[in-house]
Amino acid sequence: MKHAFFFLLFSLFSIGVCAQENNDWERYLEHLATLDEAESTSWEEVHQVLSEFSRNPININQATEDDLRQLLFLNEKQIDEIMTYLGKYHGMRTKAELNMLRELDTDRKMLLSCVIYIGEMAQNKETFRQLLRNAGHEAVAMVGIPLYERLGQTNGKYEGGPLRHWLRYNMNAKNRMRWGFIAAQDAGEPLFKGKNKSGYDHYSFYFQLRRFGVFDNLVVGRYKIKTGMGLIINNGLALGKASLLSTNGNTTNILTAHSSKSEFNYLQGAAAVLHPHPSVWITPFLSFRYLDGTLNKDSTTLYNIAGSGYHRTESELARKHNTSLATGGVHLRLVKNGFYGGATFIFNRLSRSLQPMKIDSLGQFSLSQLYRMWLPQGQQIWNLGVNYGYNRGNISVNGETAYGNCNAIASINAASYSFSSKFALTALYRFYALRYYALQSLSFSDGGSTQNESGLYLGANWRITKDLTLSTYADMAYFPWPKYQTLGSSRGWDIMTNLLYQHKLLTIQARYRYRNKQRDNEEKTSLIPKQDHRGLLAVEYSHNHFTLKTKASLSYCNYQKHSLGYLLEQHGRFQSKRFNILGSIGYFHTQDYYSRVYSYERTLLYMMNIPSFAGKGCRYALLASFQFRNIQLSGKWGTTHYFDRTSISSGLQQINKATQTDIDLQLRYSF
């Protein structure tokens, strides 16, 4: 009956709905995220940024390069093309002119159209007081209510209640000045007691001032920064392999406020972008923050830095903020006639020494810990790197080489050539020495870190017709030192092909991805291939207020045994000026965890959800929001029901029933 009800609901939605233009930015972000299978940690950050800019759009005719860098999904070459176009034609008169930009693919053009508006060319110089007077304010409160109990709640191991909730305030003055704070609480964390006597488990504050006096960009409080190609520092601002095709291997330097609930991978202090000369940018940054550290048996040194942000149990609370990290650095960037060069220096000092290898009483370590031997270690870690490139016309060359007190180097270099506005090739080679490490690095890799890897990536982007685009890449990687689940050197292959058809109201996406990584056999005597095949077929129809989407995902894994899984989904949306409703239903069937399937599921404002499913079951979700003047009320109901089990998850997260239902409520007030 449930299945019949939902399919009837979507059928009723599909009956002729007509109205005005749909400014649905998340639709285009979903195309990009599903292309990369959300393997990058940055999609949530991009989602957060676009949520803010969709409510505070940029006047494209007054935009600076740094304005466009704040959007995260554009690279330097794309930004340069936009700025050149604005200068040559004295601004834009309509958003349709975005179609004249050859460096942007369709989804990025549509994303950009959702976060800009066409305004006057002249810039009015406003004082600090005038900016404050014209600012917009937003307050958001959210609560998540589980209709189940986890084992940690029933046995009293969790120190707090079952609800998760957060508060957020943000002030925005024409994207030139922003400030706000966030208070967040995960389910199971104590409130106004224990280590959280001050109330919420997590507080965050940020202030950002742009194009004011000597500051091109100034951030105080919590912030994220990325320089070069991420070998020295990148606080999670990097997208996946498929996105590299549309950026032609090109990257951009970014400094932005950390305005999300994430408790990991940010800096806390102050950073600024100074622009003393048209060709020179200087970015100094300072930070001091506390981290959660897992201690070794000596109770003084660190085994690792924990990044989950959970503080629910006695052991999780014991490691909360038990280590401090002081960071300082500077980035210098020079640009001239299409050439650019830069240098980054960073120094980190931990209050405890990192010792990532567990040593037994005999002073020996287990062979299963070999993959941890060259992780960051010590109390002081510094790195120095240079980045360089050339962007002009059809050619784009970019690279970065880094060194540190690890006494090893890492280098990444990319080149792209556009044969025409319809066809471009990209090549990227990286060499990360197994002894190289940088505490905040994040760059292109197949193994998840910027060490112990060399590889070659080749990709092509071909706009076959106006409506049809083919994207494909092949990535080959070699790991000389043992990785997790391997006791020797190993190799990996990653091949993806995506076909995207976008014509007026209809979008069709077909994607196939093959990954082959070597893993230990069951006896751990030799390496055997772990082969993953994943396919996606999605058909989307969008007409004014209404969107209907059907998706089929297939997963096949061959590793010690064969495993097959699939997911069938139906999504629908109706949107009017004040009312918005989205519904989805999915059926999944996988033989085990190896053939698990993923889905992109819309949720509340400033939140993103890409769940995975394994086993047999159904997923239902309904999201609705209502806008009345300055108040927006939103709610989401989501249920996952399993047919092949009587309990969900394990450990303290275990739910002793086959159904998991969550209700999320949100109130937004803008003034």
Cα–Cα–Cα angle for 20, 22, 25, rounded to 5 degrees = 165
Give the model confidence (pLDDT) of 423-477 as tens digits: 989 999 999 999 999 999 989 899 888 999 999 999 998 989 989 999 999 999 9
* In-domain check, residue 555: no
Measured on CA atoms in the order 326, 400, 250, 238, is the torsion positive or negative? negative
Instruction: Give the C-alpha separation, 472 to 458, whole Å.
Output: 9
Residue 658 forms part of a structural domain: no
Query: What pLDDT score does 524 carry?
Result: 86
Quote the pLDDT of residue 9: 41
Residue 95 is assigned to a structural domain of this protein: yes
> What is the number of domains present in the chain?
1
Q: Is residue 206 part of a domain?
A: yes
- The answer to whether residue 201 is domain-embedded is yes
Which pTM was predicted? 0.87
Q: Is residue 604 part of a domain?
A: no
pLDDT value of position 650: 93
Residue at 661 is within a domain = no
Q: Which residues pair with 663 in a beta bridge?
A: 145, 637
What pLDDT, on a 0 to 100 scale, did the predictor assign at position 243?
67
> Is residue 107 situated within a structural domain?
yes
**Pair 148, 659: CB distance under 8 Å:** yes
pLDDT at residue 387 in the model: 94
The whole-angstrom separation of Cα 165 and Cα 564 is: 37
Of the chain, the end-to-end C-alpha distance in Å amounts to: 44
Stretches where the chain sits below pLDDT 70 are 1-23, 33-43, 123-124, 237-240, 242-251, 359-365
Question: For 232-245, what is each residue's pLDDT tens digit?
Answer: 999 876 666 766 66
Domain range for 29 is: 23-144+170-360+378-443+453-465
